[in-house]
């Protein structure tokens, strides 16, 4: 940490990455002083360390300082719980500089998500929030979704690996009805299933903002694929869909193929690790011949895996 202390007066380092070096709460206090005193520092990555609640709050207090110029903060894979984001939450209510916040792979539950949500109601400068691999569940995502209904700043939201089910997905769908800013939504490795994708697909028939949708590993079957296909026939904004590791069969793929023939905006489509057989492959090939927009297609182990 003595080396890091020299950076408090360094006016050259703008991008600092100190990942996987066992920084603890004491080290986080040193980092917080750097954040407050080094006006050149704008990007800070502290991923894969051992920062806990006390360190998280020290960093949050630094973000509240008017002299802090941080625009990107990465705290991925530390040990920060709900109590450890209190000062980060307080910072979001007053900070207008921070645009990117990665709190992925910590130990944040619904209580912490609600606190974040309350802050987001007052914050319009944060455009990227990564909460993957936490434990916010349906209650937490409901709080986040409610906060973002009229938020004009958020562009990218990552909620993957958060034990979110159909009800949570329905709340996000309600958010997408009024939110006109979000362009990327990551729902990967949750449990939204066909009911959740139905709600989201119905909204995306009219939504003209969202471009990237990741719904990999969500227990989506034929019915969900049908909803997606119906959406893609009407939506002309989505450019990327990730359906990796679901349960898409030939029957579900049929509706998607019909949409691919007329959709002119989808560029990237991931169907890897599904359950497609010969009939589905033929229909997909025919759809791709009619399509002029898809330039990336992932079919890795997509044929007869489940």
Q: What is the pLDDT of residues 160-185, one digit of tens each?
A: 999 999 999 999 999 999 999 999 99
Confidence of residue 81 (pLDDT cuts 50, 70, 90): very high
Lowest model confidence (mean pLDDT) among 10-19, 149-158, 181-190: 10-19
Distance CA(90)–CA(1), nearest Å, equals 27
| Cβ neighbours for 282, distance < 8 A, ≥ 6 positions apart | none
Residue 8 has pLDDT above 90, yes or no: no
Residue 102 has pLDDT above 70, yes or no: yes
Length of the chain: 306
Residue 1 has pLDDT above 90, yes or no: no
The confidence score (pLDDT) of residue 13 equals: 87
pTM over the 0.85 mark: yes
| Cβ neighbours for 53, distance < 8 A, ≥ 6 positions apart | 25, 80, 81, 83, 84
The confidence score (pLDDT) of residue 304 equals: 75
Q: What is the mean pLDDT of residues 203-231?
A: 98
Dihedral over Cα of 170, 175, 178, 182: its sign: negative
Distance CA(9)–CA(7), nearest Å, equals 5
Inter-CA distances, 177 with 107, 171, 174, Å: 30, 10, 5
SS3 231: helix
E strand or H helix at 85: none
Residue 2 has pLDDT above 70, yes or no: no
Residue 306 has pLDDT above 60, yes or no: no
Confidence of residue 280 (pLDDT cuts 50, 70, 90): very high
Inter-CA distances, 264 with 12, 82, 259, Å: 46, 44, 10
Q: What is the mean pLDDT of residues 183-188?
A: 98
Residue 195 has pLDDT above 70, yes or no: yes
């Amino acid at each position: 940490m003595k080396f890091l202390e020299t950076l408090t007066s360094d006016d050259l380092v703008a991008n600092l990455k100190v990942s996987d070096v066992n920084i603890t709460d004491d080290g986080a206090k040193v980092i917080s002083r750097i954040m407050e005193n080094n006006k050149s520092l704008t990007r800070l990555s502290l991923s894969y360390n051992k920062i806990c609640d006390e360190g998280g709050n020290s960093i949050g207090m630094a973000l509240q300082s008017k002299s802090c110029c941080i625009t990107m903060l990465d705290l991925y894979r530390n040990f920060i719980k709900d109590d450890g984001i209190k000062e980060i939450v307080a910072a979001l209510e007053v900070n207008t500089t921070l645009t990117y916040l990665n709190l992925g792979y910590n130990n944040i539950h619904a209580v912490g998500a609600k606190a974040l949500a309350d802050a987001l109601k007052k914050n319009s400068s944060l455009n990227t929030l990564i909460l993957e691999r936490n434990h916010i569940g349906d209650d937490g995502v409901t709080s986040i979704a409610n906060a973002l209904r009229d938020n004009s700043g958020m562009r990218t939201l990552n909620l993957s690996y958060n034990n979110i089910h159909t009800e949570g997905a329905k709340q996000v769908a309600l958010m997408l009805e009024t939110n006109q800013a979000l362009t990327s939504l990551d729902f990967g490795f949750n449990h939204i299933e066909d009911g959740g994708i139905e709600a989201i697909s119905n909204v995306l028939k009219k939504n003209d903002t969202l471009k990237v949708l990741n719904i990999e590993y969500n227990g989506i079957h034929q019915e969900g694929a049908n909803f997606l296909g119906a959406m893609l026939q009407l939506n002309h904004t989505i450019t990327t869909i990730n359906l990796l590791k679901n349960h898409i069969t030939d029957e579900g793929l049929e509706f998607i193929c019909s949409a691919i023939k007329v959709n002119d905006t989808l560029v990237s489509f991931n169907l890897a690790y599904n359950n497609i057989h010969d009939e589905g492959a033929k229909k997909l090939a025919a759809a791709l011949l009619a399509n002029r927009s898809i330039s990336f297609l992932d079919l890795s182990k997509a044929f007869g895996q489940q």
